[in-house]
A and B are shown apart, each in its own frame.
Chain A
């Protein structure tokens, strides 16, 4: 299977539920800012509201990074609304919830389980040109962490702005000195 890195999002048009309203979203809406497409299997399940709520709690931090979040499931926008009406966790969501009942988006990103009509838990980070820069795909029951996703968005942005000639630093005082390694090839 071919990977998704550096693949540009293809044309799509789906309905969505956002801040109590029904809207249309196309690939054009993903341009000009960083985006996260956050696939999950279905509304009205138990793991999903936990991670969607986690994402809602961190939404402001994503926005500070200039990143929009789009959750995606294979439900209709009407089901998204019904779920928001029924769940306090979902009602607090301010990001856009895309409805993909025809599987158009899930198929494009390779996360559709055809015989179940549900999406795997796939997370895709797209740059302002709509190009995938990082992604992860979990099996149905394995949840994700919004804080870790935020770190990945920040890292993707950093690399785009500064190139890849840096290492992230996680300072841990008290570690032992590393054994030396010499690499003199071609430098003398």
Chain B
């Protein structure tokens, strides 16, 4: 399938779901671009592109830009284009540090909606003491959250990490649907999810709160 033939509607979004999402998007404050880098020949890529097309069509604050892997790699060197589909949130052409590798179906739809809500504003409330701590971080931190779409704990962990990324420039939080990338399952020996990998060194299993995640991030100077 070519890039121009990708539908603006996704079969994953039912009318009921659309209404729920519109309710959240009515509160959005700032413009946000969803950059979606895909392999047009791959079904998961096309599925995610349709989903992003559909979702961004539900609010005037949102826009969608689709790229194939070659163009995406050239235009967005800050993104990992080895795991496609890759979708990233940009605010005023600036990468928010929030990205998704895979199709955000199942429970991960929650992650995508909250990521948009948090990156565009007003966003979920964050305790001031946590925000103060995050402001002190200077080291660039990369957080990978490996998930499965049916795991109810995973979405919560993604939302937590991506909220931290939305509030702190030093944090990048990437959701990765492990099912789509068996090489990642093999590399990181993933048997249980959510599994969070911080800076390729620290591994967290299960849901962790912001304090617990910060305790690891603060050790990187």
Contact = CB atoms under 8 A, between A and B. Distances in A.
Interface of A: 158, 162-163, 165-169, 171-173, 175, 177-184, 187-188
A182 B191 CA distance: 26
Contacts, number: 89
Nearest to B109: A180
B149 A168 contact: no
Given A165-B206, A167-B148, A188-B117, A180 B191 contact: no
Contact of B114 (A169, A178, A180, A187): A187
A182 B110 contact: yes
A169 to B, nearest CB: 5
Interface of B: 12-14, 17, 20-21, 24, 27, 44, 47, 103-110, 113-114, 117, 124, 148-154, 159, 178-180, 182, 185, 190-194, 205-207
A177 B117 CA distance: 23
A158 B192 contact: yes
B104 A180 contact: yes
A167 B47 contact: no
Contacts of A175: 179
Contacts of B154: 167
A-B pairs, top 4 by smallest CB distance, nearest first, are A178-B106, A180-B109, A165-B206, A177-B105
A169 B190 contact: yes
B205 A166 contact: yes
14 contacts: A158-B192, A165-B206, A166-B194, A166-B206, A167-B154, A168-B192, A171-B185, A173-B182, A177-B105, A179-B106, A180-B108, A182-B20, A184-B110, A188-B124
B182 A178 contact: no
Given A166-B193, A167-B192, A187-B114, A177 B12 contact: yes
A169 B24 contact: no
A183 B47 CA distance: 22
A188 B108 CA distance: 16
B113 A173 contact: no
A162 B148 CA distance: 18
A184 B194 contact: no
Contacts of B103: 177
Nearest to B208: A165
